[in-house]
Each structure stands twice: as structure tokens, then as C-alpha cells.
Amino acid sequence: MSSIFSMWEAVAQAPVSFGHLSIGAAIGACLGASTVYVGVLYYVTPKEHRHGWSRDDPAVIRRRALAVSAVTVLSPLGLAAISAPDVLGKTVLEHMGLSVFSSLSHALKASLIPLGLNVALFLGPLIQRYLDGDDDDGSLSSISSPYFDWLFLRNIVVAPVTEEIVFRGWMVPVLTPIVGSGGLLCVTAPLVFGIAHLHHAIEGVPLPVVLAQFGYTSVFGGITTYLFAATGHTAGPILCHAFSNFMGFPPFNEISGHAQWVTPTAPVFFPGTLHYLLLRNYAFDCWSVLVSSVVRSAVQF
């Protein structure tokens, strides 16, 4: 028991770094973490029930939620195991973006700004829903069934929290010393996240749909990787992940079928990513200027 407490104490207090890892070791560590995360989903499902069952069944969701939650709780210990002591480094929890916010400004910058930027990506679908006025669109927000509570728990709570901690908080610190914290990181790190979704083919999901999920999750992973690198915290990526799961994949195919949507939604539906790219640096820069101005005024007062 004392050794376990010592390990957690090291995770929370000992400064470490990951620059000693080779490219192969870093990639292997990321793929290993992804394999463990996905593997437990099937390990906790009895073999006799792996065929003919639904991943949306409450019993399946409960088993899997507990399994990935356990993996996530133990993930800092795994990251500590492959780290090296470094007096100039950060603790494992700081590397993973799980540290306590240093200030209210940091809390808002790490959460509200990323969420606001993510909303910009969904301006088209949001306006579309408003103009359509039909709540029964098949998305998570319109589900009304015995499965809803468990679907909500999985999609809006468990998946965003556990996936962002493992696929961003665990992997970004490992890959950053090798690829840097810029665009290459936002391209390479999300590929592991996309690959982790290929297992849906085992569950009977058609291959074209699985490949589409791989592309979509890889792109989304690039966005949350950028937010994690920009804020140094998992709060923003988790909120964005939860919001994106709530909204679902943008229904591009429905625009042409509703003439009243074309004019107001076209300017924000397809260029949503462009809006995001244009606003992201501006939002963080404006926040820094605003905080500096408030602090300066308070000091002068």
C-alpha cells in the first residue's frame, strides 16, 4: 500500500520529461495506450455476448464505462513509468493537463475560449436546427428512451473525459519532444485517435462508415490537440468533445433539401473550419490583452 502512495506522490510532485524517448518508443507508447484503452472495451464484454449485442445496451455501457474509467485513473502511473527525472520539467499531472488552474483567468482561457471556438465550427448546424424547428432529428439531444441516460453518460461524460485524458493528456507530452508543439503535432497525434475508432468494424459497422469515422475523428483530434497545446489543460478539449458528441456529425446532406436553410447556413456551414482557424489565435490573443488591461487598471487604481 505504501508503494502505491509513493507512486502517486511521485506523479503529483516529481518533475519529469519525455525527451529521452526515441521515435519508436514514443509511437509504441502511444499505440500501446490506445490498445489498452480499446482492448478493455472487449475484455469486459463476455465472449458469449460479443455477437448480436448492441454497444448501446445499458449493460454494455456500464461495463465499458467502468473499464475505461479505471484505465484513465491509472494512466498517470503508466506515463510516469516511461518518464525520466528532470528538475526543469513538470509533474506528470501537469504534463497531462490535469493540474489545478493557476488563476480564474487561466480557468476561463482553458475552458470557455476553446468551447466558444468549437461552437463556431457548428454555427451551420445550430442555425439549421433553429430554422428547422424540429427537435426529432435523431441526434443525442432528441433521444427519448430507456437508453437515453446511459447514452448521455457515455457520449457526454465518460467518452470525452476518458478519451481526452488518454489520447491528449497522455500522448501529447510523449510526442511533443519529437515533433514539436506546432502543426506536425496536430497531424500526427490525432492519427492514433482515429485508428482507435477502427474497432467499430468488429461491431458490425459498415467499412465505409468506419473509414468516415476515422477521418472525422482524426480531424477533430487535430482540433482538440491544438487546444490542449494552446491551453496546457484538458478542460477545453473535454468540453469541446462533449459538445461535439451532443451535436453529432454535421448533416451536410440536408442543406439542399431545405431551401430556407441555404442562404443563412451556407456562409457558416461549409467554411466552419475556416472560421475556426481565423478565430483561434485572435481569441487567445484578445483574452491575453483583456487580462493584461484589467490587471494594469487594477494596479493603477
Q: Could you tell me the three cell numbers for 153?
A: 453518460
**Is residue 197 flagged as an active site residue?**
yes
Residue in 123, 121, 116, 100 with CA at minimum distance from that of residue 284: 116
Nearest 10 degrees: Cα torsion 129, 132, 135, 141: -10
User: CB of 170 within 8 A of CB of 96?
Assistant: yes
User: CB of 54 within 8 A of CB of 38?
Assistant: no
Greatest CA separation for the chain: 71
> Residue 84 belongs to what H/E stretch?
strand 84-85
Catalytic residue among 163, 164, 233, 241: 163
| β partners of residue 90 | 16
Please state the length of the chain: 301
> Residue 16 belongs to what H/E stretch?
strand 16-17
Q: Could you tell me the three cell numbers for 43?
A: 475484455
Residues with Cβ within 8 Å of 250's Cβ and at least 6 positions away in sequence, in order, are 122, 124, 125, 269, 272
Q: Could you tell me the three cell numbers for 134?
A: 424540429
- Find cell 503529483 and name the residue: 12
Q: CA-to-CA distance for 47 and 216, rounded, in angstroms?
A: 30
Three-class secondary structure of residue 153 per DSSP: helix
Residues with Cβ within 8 Å of 252's Cβ and at least 6 positions away in sequence, in order, are 269, 270
Catalytic residue among 20, 49, 106, 197: 197
**Is residue 163 flagged as an active site residue?**
yes
Residues with Cβ within 8 Å of 286's Cβ and at least 6 positions away in sequence, in order, are none
Residues serving a catalytic function are 163, 197
